[in-house]
Amino acid sequence: MKKIILTGSKGFIGQKFIQLYSNSYNIIDLDLPHFDITSSLDIDKLNKHKDVYCIVHLAALSNPKESFQFPNKYYEVNLLGTLNLLTYAVKNNIKNFFFMSSLTIHGSSNKILNEDSDIVANHFYGATKAAAEDVCRLFSTKNKLNINILRPNLVIGASKIPPDLINLCVDEVKNKSKFTIFGDGEHIRDFVHVNDVCKVINSLISYKDSLQIFTLGGNPYSINKIFSIFENKFGEIKKKFLPKNSSSFSLFCSNAKLENATGFKLNVSIDQMINEALNELK
């Protein structure tokens, strides 16, 4: 059984990965704040673990709004923390590294994006993820590491804290019989279920081709289209429009490279995501 180090193990994706794949790997699970990836003392504690096959790096600060308030904190955790783990990997001859990035490094776009699209982060969170990707590139080139980088869009699933867009909409429709839309509702976002994200991580742990970057989305819908799906499921719903906010932008991407490399296909549809959120409320 392959031994992997998993950072962010108590986070939304990390917990789900352990739930799905604890029988497939010997998982050394690490999480903030009990393990500080910005601390050389904590990093040195990992030296006792021998024959580690891969580091799966999910730990991050990930609130775009908060990142404007605490840019130094985001820099330390998201960039310096990644640098520390890569340095540890080289020192301990760990040749495989998975890094969780974000599609938000591309900012916003009304056209479908891919791995070669321009990087124009609109917040410090995205900027630190983009910078960490550059550090990964340097380590892969200089130290011959196999590094796979994943840029997912909106990750959806039950029990997410804070709740994701689908869960918020289900809660509002179920309890208040209304559906709030910020802006005109024509902006398009991609929705990918956490189980599918974990499936991709599992595939990329053993994918060896120097450095590779993959975008992940696959369920692109406008907010107005999401509203139509809710009406079909619940019947007539009061639609409430409010001025656009920081989330009223389009961002969606292609899965073509990921599909060609790993054979990945989405398993969870938007309708299944809504049903899961509904069951969570019962």
Name the residue among 130, 249, 232 with its Cα closest to residue 187: 249
* CB 63 within 8 Å of CB 125: yes
What DSSP character marks residue 37? T
Name the residue among 50, 63, 82 with its Cα closest to residue 11: 63
| C-alpha span between 141 and 63 (Å, rounded) | 30
Cα 250 from chain centre? 17
Q: What is the pLDDT of residues 80-133, one digit of tens each?
A: 999 999 999 999 999 999 999 999 999 999 999 999 999 999 999 999 999 999
Q: What is the pLDDT of residues 230-278, one digit of tens each?
A: 888 888 888 889 999 988 999 999 999 999 999 999 999 999 998 998 8
* CB 241 within 8 Å of CB 181: yes
**Domain extents in the chain:** 2-154+192-217
Q: What is the pLDDT of residues 39-70, one digit of tens each?
A: 999 999 999 999 999 999 999 999 999 999 99
Confidence of residue 282 (pLDDT cuts 50, 70, 90): low
Name the residue among 49, 39, 44, 178 with its Cα closest to residue 59: 39
Name the residue among 227, 235, 238, 241 with its Cα closest to residue 270: 227
Cα 69 from chain centre? 21
Confidence of residue 27 (pLDDT cuts 50, 70, 90): very high
Does residue 79 surpass a pLDDT of 80?
yes
Tell me which fold the domain 2-154+192-217 belongs to.
Answer: Rossmann fold (3.40.50)
- 10 Å Cβ neighbour count for 55? 25
In this prediction the pTM is 0.95
